Amino acid sequence: MPACYKKEIYLNLILLLFSGFSLFSQISVERGPYLQELTDTSVIVCWRTSQSTDSRVYYDLLLGGQSDSVSELSQKVEHKLKLSGLSPNTLYYYSVANANKQLTQSHQNYRFKTAPDPGSEQNIRVWAIGDFGKGNTEQGLVRDAYLDYTDTIHTDVWLWLGDNAYQSGTDQEYQDNVFDSSNAYGEIMPYMPFMPSPGNHDYLSVSPPNPTSSIDPNNHSGPYFDIVDLPTNGEGGGFPSGTELYYSFDYANVHFVSINSEIGSINLLKSSHDWIGTLPYFNPLASSFTSSPFTDWLHNDLQQNEQRWTIAYFHQPPYTDGSHSTETFYEVFMKAMRENIVPILEQYNVDLVLSGHSHVYERSYLIKGHYDDADTFDPNTMIIDGNSGYENLNEAYVKDLSKPDGEEGTVYIVCGNSASKKDNPGLQYPAMYYGFGCDTCCGSVVLDINGTRLDGSFITMGGRVLDEFTIHKQDSVSIVEEDEIIQSFDCYPNPFSEEIFINLKLKEKTKLRLELLNIKGQKIKTLFNGVQKGNDCSFVFNKKIKGLPSGNYILSLKMTDRQHIMKIIKL
């Protein structure tokens, strides 16, 4: 071969080598990394690269360490790798790479903490945002107000309440308004996994409501579903849904249920696509809604749930009077949630329901049984506890676990103003205790759960704690069927004002102590301490409770080896 040809071949090889090197050196991370499907033993790391390449994640207990790794050789730009066999409740650091280079450098933000053992009790912090994906100044201020508020406290669960990317939930809108913008979440996503639900704006790129067309929910796809990676097979606890449309998971002693309020249909010819029952409200010719694959799953999931707390979240609220009103005739999705889904949630004693959609903040009393229009709301039968919920006023809500299923009550929250807002909203819905909305009124919800206590707060974009409430769970006893000594223990009236009567029926003579406690279980005063003969005995207290502030209390009946308690309310 002539020398000139050899020289030309060598030059081409050198150019090709440097060209390949240049391609590798130009690969960068364009989205993420972000975390999905966190459990007590696993997590999924997701990221997007500028060019197709292989995938690798290094992880270690030490910052900068690379003791473990997972990899995938297939070339792609959308990367998802699952890290398994992790230890519960443990902090790990990670980085993403390909076979040739590190794509992220060692940094404390590239970390995750696995969930604790399912059913365990410990402090849990939850952050919930709704209607946020606008990339505007308010979105950034709400984010920063929460980060300042939580400070060094770890965020265990981050809930998205829908309308995650305006205006239409396109991939570019997710990139601009959720991942990239200086007002978005690019800096916190590497260490704060999110558990989303979709909203109507996200669904404009999935299955827009249309009376002349409809897409089977089994075939729903689009940017939202491309971005998320959710537990469909019970990976994090809960009943397997088999779909990313809706799902559930456990975190410590809390069961979370992510519901899709957009899987309705208003097409009379596609009633099988209506999984929440919107069609009968839109078209009077449609048959009444009975069940769907979604409601069947919801029953199964809540029936098998054994966690102490249950929180459901979805986009379209059952009750609101904000930028949207559940009383507006065309709001058939909200109506369907109220009439068809809320009864299922209350049947299984869901404690808290979080929604968005209406660009305000609203928080209800502890209520039950309100499934129709606002003018049918009866406070005498539907409010379980009509107090403020404020712990510092001794008005926290107390859920009585001795009541039959469906009788304990639920608190409903609308938080659709984490970047969106509404000037001069009505805020007159009768089930709501608190409402907040204006053209600068934005914020987010924070939940702190520990054992038998749940605290909720609304944090404004200015960092102010505007609303707070507390729920306690306890067993109350009015009739004692299996006690060897006490046949009955009751008091009336309850709620009471000036005096209270207590009736006991004892099988035999016994020593007992009656005490008045606050809702934390701390003694306020002893009402009686002595011996009582068998059969019926009664007490009436007026002077001993004179001056007692209004609020929730616990009446404690103690004997040598047992105790019975009852919630009482002072008006």
Residue 466 has pLDDT above 70, yes or no: yes
Which pLDDT tens digit goes with each residue over 346-396? 999 999 999 999 999 999 999 999 999 999 999 999 999 999 999 988 899
CATH annotation of 29-114: 2.60.40.10
Q: Name the residue ranges covered by the structural domains of the chain.
A: 29-114, 124-265+310-474, 486-570
Given a contact cutoff of 8 angstroms between Cβ atoms, the answer to whether 356 and 323 are in contact is no
CATH class of the domain whose range is 124-265+310-474: alpha beta
- Number of alpha carbons in the 13 Å side-chain half-sphere of residue 553: 24
Other beta carbons within 10 angstroms of residue 401's beta carbon come to: 13
Indicate yes or no: pTM above 0.75: yes
Would you give the distance in Å from CA 519 to the centre of its chain?
25
Could you give the 3-state DSSP secondary structure of residue 173?
helix
Superfamily of domain 486-570 in the CATH hierarchy? Macroglobulin (MG2) domain (2.60.40.1930)
Given a contact cutoff of 8 angstroms between Cβ atoms, the answer to whether 43 and 82 are in contact is yes
Q: Using 50, 70 and 90 to split pLDDT, how confident is the model at 543?
A: confident
DSSP state of 387: S
Given a contact cutoff of 8 angstroms between Cβ atoms, the answer to whether 382 and 370 are in contact is yes
Residue 333 has pLDDT above 60, yes or no: yes
- Predicted local distance difference test score (pLDDT) of residue 568: 84
Buried b / exposed e over 458-477, threshold 16 CB at 10 Å, is bbbbeeeeebbbbbbbbebb
- Predicted local distance difference test score (pLDDT) of residue 520: 64
Could you give the 3-state DSSP secondary structure of residue 219?
helix
Residue 148 has pLDDT above 90, yes or no: yes
Which pLDDT tens digit goes with each residue over 155-195? 999 999 999 999 999 999 999 999 998 999 999 999 999 99
Please state, in angstroms and rounded to a whole number, the distance separating the CA atoms of residues 128 and 389. Answer: 19
Q: Do domains 29-114 and 124-265+310-474 have the same CATH topology?
A: no
Please state, in angstroms and rounded to a whole number, the distance separating the CA atoms of residues 415 and 315. Answer: 9
Residue 22 has pLDDT above 60, yes or no: no
DSSP state of 237: B
- Predicted local distance difference test score (pLDDT) of residue 486: 72
Which pLDDT tens digit goes with each residue over 279-331? 999 998 999 999 999 999 999 999 999 999 999 999 999 999 999 999 999 99
Other beta carbons within 10 angstroms of residue 517's beta carbon come to: 16
Please state, in angstroms and rounded to a whole number, the distance separating the CA atoms of residues 343 and 108. Answer: 45
Would you give the distance in Å from CA 266 to the centre of its chain?
28
- Predicted local distance difference test score (pLDDT) of residue 484: 62
Q: Which residues, in sequence order, are CB contacts of 459 under 8 Å at separation 6+?
A: 142, 145, 146, 149, 443, 444, 445, 446, 465, 466
Please state, in angstroms and rounded to a whole number, the distance separating the CA atoms of residues 536 and 487. Answer: 10
Q: Which residue has the tokens 């910052």?
A: 63
State the DSSP H helix or E strand holding residue 224, giving kind and residue range, or none if neither: helix 223-227
Closest CA to 468 of 411, 384, 406: 411
Give the percent of the chain with pLDDT over 90: 74
Other beta carbons within 10 angstroms of residue 526's beta carbon come to: 13
Please state, in angstroms and rounded to a whole number, the distance separating the CA atoms of residues 316 and 202. Answer: 13
Listing DSSP states for 415-455 in one string gives E--SS---SS-----TTEEEEE-STT--EEEEEEEETTEEE
